Amino acid sequence: MNDLSQDFLPGFVHLIGAGPGDPDLLTRRALRLMVQADVVVYDRLVSPEIMALIPPHIPRIDVGKLPKAHKVPQDGINAMLVDLARQGLRVARVKGGDPLIFGRGSEEAEACRAAGIPCDYTPGITSAQGAACSTGVPLTHRGLATGVRYVTGHRAKDGALDLDWASLASGDTTLVVYMGVANICEISNRLMAHELCADTPVLAVASATTPRETRVLSDLSGIAAAVANAQPEAPVLFIIGRVVSLYEPALLATALACEGAGMAAYA
């Protein structure tokens, strides 16, 4: 058995990916670090089901961000992690998805290392992977998509979306857009302006892998209106590309029902 003592050093910051929301998708290492921590600093995108796994005696600090409403700015979070670690605490910094995919984990690691605070990463299943598996839509598929690209649909301080639209508008690539609800109209229009077909299918998935998951199916020309009408609750992820043509909700519901029945037999 590996020596795990290094995991629990005092004055240490663990940058932990909590996955897309379903506690069954949390890694064993992530759970171990969370329940052994002296303090948990967590984001809004960490699901309540996962937060419920943390023992009640462990202090929790909510630093979650809402659009245009950051209760603790990023610089403040960085300083908080350093301060807590300097008190000799084992800090679990818990983030939705993976800390190195639009999670600002590397920014927080830089701040820790600059202050002489040791830190490490624990990967998590990305929101894109979670959404793909819960909806049954593959991110790649032979004959439909030869690659997948993850992009942000939001810039810090509401900056312009200066993405490489010509490169992104590829019919052979699946495009996964994180944090794109506010800008989905601009995103879809920019992609169509760069000759991505207007009838390219799009699936918006909110709160993927949790009991609150909702989906909005449309095409590139209609997704902005469809999302505005449905008003899904964040976090929302957009899967854009021909792979979405494989989405079959009826078959998926049957598979999930069978899975539930199988699990019930072990309850």
CATH classification at residue 180: 3.30.950.10
User: To the nearest whole percent, how much of the chain has pLDDT over 90?
Assistant: 78
What average pLDDT does the segment 207-235 reach? 94
162 counts as catalytic: no
Asked if residue 57 belongs to a domain, the reply is yes
Model pLDDT for residues 53-94, shown as the tens digit of each residue = 999 999 999 998 665 555 789 999 999 999 999 999 999 999
Q: Same domain, yes or no, for 161 and 228?
A: yes
Q: Same domain, yes or no, for 141 and 245?
A: yes
Q: Same domain, yes or no, for 27 and 78?
A: yes
Partners of 119 in beta bridges: 13
What confidence tier does 249 reach under pLDDT thresholds 50, 70, 90? confident
For the chain, the distance separating the N- and C-terminal CA atoms, rounded to the nearest angstrom, is 30
7, 51, 65, 120: the catalytic one is 65
Q: Same domain, yes or no, for 112 and 26?
A: yes
Q: Same domain, yes or no, for 135 and 110?
A: no
Asked if residue 20 belongs to a domain, the reply is yes
Model pLDDT for residues 195-211, shown as the tens digit of each residue = 999 999 999 999 999 99
Of 56, 41, 50, 29, nearest in space to 92 by CA: 41
CATH classification at residue 68: 3.40.1010.10
Q: Same domain, yes or no, for 146 and 119?
A: no
DSSP secondary structure, 210-236, as one string:
STT-EEEEEETTTHHHHHHHH-PPSPE
Rounded distance between C-alpha atoms, residue 217 and residue 206, angstroms: 12
Number of domains in the chain: 2
Last residue of a domain, one of 73, 96, 125: 125
Does residue 64 sit in helix, strand or coil?
coil
65 counts as catalytic: yes
pLDDT of residue 138: 96
Asked if residue 265 belongs to a domain, the reply is no
179 counts as catalytic: yes
What confidence tier does 2 reach under pLDDT thresholds 50, 70, 90? very low
Model pLDDT for residues 155-205, shown as the tens digit of each residue = 665 667 889 999 999 999 999 999 899 999 999 999 999 999 999 999 999
**Alpha-carbon separation of residue 12 from 22, 24, 137 (angstroms):** 27, 26, 39
Asked if residue 255 belongs to a domain, the reply is no
pLDDT of residue 21: 95
Asked if residue 263 belongs to a domain, the reply is no
pLDDT of residue 257: 57
Q: Which amino acid is at 139?
A: L
DSSP state of 183: T
pTM: 0.86
- 257 vs 267, higher pLDDT: 257
DSSP state of 144: T
43, 80, 95, 98: the catalytic one is 43
Q: Same domain, yes or no, for 212 and 242?
A: yes
pLDDT of residue 260: 55
Residue 247 dihedral angles phi and psi, to the nearest 5° = -65, 120
Q: Same domain, yes or no, for 156 and 121?
A: no
Domain region containing 157: 128-250
> Is 70 exceeded by the pLDDT of residue 253?
no
Q: Same domain, yes or no, for 121 and 132?
A: no
Contact 14, 57 (CB under 8 A): no
Q: Same domain, yes or no, for 116 and 150?
A: no
Which helix H or strand E contains 238, and what residues bound it?
Answer: strand 236-240
